[in-house]
Amino acid sequence: MRKRGFSRLLQIAGEKKGLLVLSGGLSAVSAVFALVPYLSAYHILAQLMNHWGDLSKVDSYTMKFWGIWAFLGIAASMVFLYVSAMASHVAAFRILYGLRVALADHLGKLHLGYLSRTSTGAIKKTLEQNVEKIENFVAHKIPDLVNVVATVVITAVAMFSLNPWITSACILAVLLGFGAQASMMTGDRGKRMMKAYYDSLERINASAIQYVRGMPAVKVFGRTVHSFRQFYRDMVDYSQMVTKFTDQFQNGFILFRTILTSFVAFVLPVGVYLLSRRPGDLSLGLTVLFFVIMAPAMAAPLYKIMYISSTLRDISEGVDRIDAILAEPEVSEPSNPKIPSSYDVSFDNVSFSYGTHGESTRIEALGDLTFTARQGEVTALVGPSGSGKSTAANLIPRFWDVDKGSISIGGVDIRDMGTEKLMETVSFVFQDTFLFFDSIYNNILLGNPNATRDQVIAAAKAAQCHDFIERLPKGYDTLIGEGGVYLSGGEEQRVTVARAILKNSPILVLDEATAFADPENEHKMQLALKELIKDKTVIIIAHRLSTIREANHIVVLKEGRLSEEGTHGDLVANGDLYHRMWTAHTSAREWGLGRKKAV
């Protein structure tokens, strides 16, 4: 059974066990030295009490001795605490690094289905805030916890040795205070509240990201945050959640603080009672005075324990959310990976639905789809919007796995190929481009990290983007995005085509790679792509039918199923769906604003 909560946190922290043990040990030593000034104060008070009638008899050597020890105790405590903090911080940053790398690596191995059903804000919050809180807990709270426990235990033993009755009164106050706080914060109710709080926080994170991304539309239509209903609703829900959260815990917290700041109220009655039984006992009087001074000082470490327990509850919920991501199944890897000898891509009775298995809302995107895209040929996928063209293409590199049937490359089921080999085999140019905040050179180099600069430039020339890159301030070393330049949609798409050209994979999937190109550059890119696709298996998702007239094989989809297939001429002659689409396409090209219909 997988550990949860604090046990799981210790398991994560245990990856750097040596550093944490060192940090804890040094923190405990620091706690011991931190108590030396109180011991010194006790002995100095004893000197003063024993000679209160004639202070000239006070032993100056003893006073100086304990004064020096008080100073040395404080200095030693700070030194050991500093070294402890250094050790815990090194461990914490290594844990933080390991967690983020593990999460990023795991996310990269998940099906895109997980990312599509999980908000970006929730994943971002887990990667940043939850991991950061674990680092903070390991770096600060674990040494503090050891320090506080050592302080409380040593102080309790010392106080018991002085007077068990007064010490029992102090312990009663501690138990009452923590009992009042625990009654509000532990149990199923507290866990439910913490989960609800985190869920609310994740929703507002996701809505905030969506709101920022949708800012152009918000401004264009003259709207405010109130009109962006989801974001506004999530903000209101978060406000109500935090208020409810605070209302639930405030009574226990107030009672806890009141009791801890009132230790003297528990100490004095017992002390006065004991003094009344032994009047004139200077030793007992000194002990009572020491407790009156020490009792309020006990509140500080106890506050720390309370804050640590509160933080721990927060951390435990964050750990659960990190584990929830790590528990998501990765794309399965074959035990004996196969390598295809050719690169025909075949769909054999493929059915696929978006959503989770068993859900009543599952919508079938593809149903019993069968066709073959042959090596050395261009196969075009066409059909009305929502017919499943992009879905079919996304299944080839296993962005999702099929529900039924199979997809094979050169006769090898893609599920029998290693993921790394599959990704090397298929190159993809999405309609929605994505460029990293980096130089244009590095964005193209992503296609083949081992390529030379000349090869990168050659790929850029083939994609018809060399000329505009050369005109940029720093050429290929120009940064894209904030602090650099912003490219147009057509320019971005040509950079991604250059990336695909540089990768030079035997299978090329183009999701309308010329969608944003102007007529002149579209012609140039068509020539470049025509040269590029020699001997490759090329699958084009076509929206503008004029771009695929020369395709060797056209697959027409309708509602996720095969409607017809053949060449452009054959399909137009059939007079079926493709013929109607072609007629609509040619009619649309002749349409213009203000153009009068011919009589």
Is there a contact between 383 and 556 (Cβ–Cβ < 8 Å)? yes
Question: pLDDT tens-digit profile of 472-505?
Answer: 888 999 988 766 788 877 788 788 888 888 888 8
Which sign does the torsion angle of CA 394, 398, 400, 406 carry? positive
What are the distances in angstroms from CA 234 to CA 202, 207, 491?
10, 7, 37
Per the DSSP assignment, residues forming a β-bridge with 444 are: none
H/E element, 290: helix 282-326
How far apart are the C-alpha atoms of 519 and 78, rounded to whole Å?
72
Give the global pTM. Answer: 0.64
At 599 the pLDDT is 43
Structure-derived torsion over alpha carbons of residues 225, 229, 231, 234, reported in degrees to the nearest 10 = 130
- Give long-range contacts, CB 8 A cutoff, 24+ apart: 184-192: 184/248, 184/249, 184/251, 184/252, 184/253, 185/249, 185/252, 185/309, 185/310, 185/313, 189/248, 190/313
Among 505, 554, 501, smallest CA distance to 531 is for 501
Question: Could you tell me the sign of the dihedral formed by the alpha carbons of 430, 436, 441, 446, in that order?
Answer: negative
Mean pLDDT, the chain, rounded, equals 80
For residue 413, the cross-strand partners are 408
The whole-angstrom distance between residue 574's C-alpha and the CA centroid of its chain comes to 52
320's CB contacts (< 8 A; 6+ apart) are 4, 5, 8
Give the percent of the chain with pLDDT over 90. Answer: 16
| Cα(55)–Cα(64) distance, integer angstroms | 15
Burial (CB < 10 A; 0-12, 13-18, 19+), residue 374, is middle
Q: Which domains does the chain have, with CATH numbers?
A: 5-326 (1.20.1560.10), 345-352+365-588 (3.40.50.300)
Q: What average pLDDT does this structure show over 326-348?
A: 89
Number of other CB atoms surrounding residue 392 within 10 Å? 25
Band of the pLDDT at 31, cuts 50, 70, 90? Answer: confident
- Give the residue, 462 or 205, on which the prediction is more confident: 462
What pLDDT sits at residue 83? 93
- What is the tens place of the pLDDT at every residue in 398-444? 888 899 999 999 999 999 998 889 988 998 887 767 788 889 999 99
Spatial separation of the C-alpha atoms in residues 380 and 570, rounded to whole Å: 14
Side-chain-facing half-sphere of 31: CA atoms under 13 Å = 22
Residue 142 has pLDDT above 90, yes or no: no
211 and 218 in contact (C-beta within 8 Å)? yes
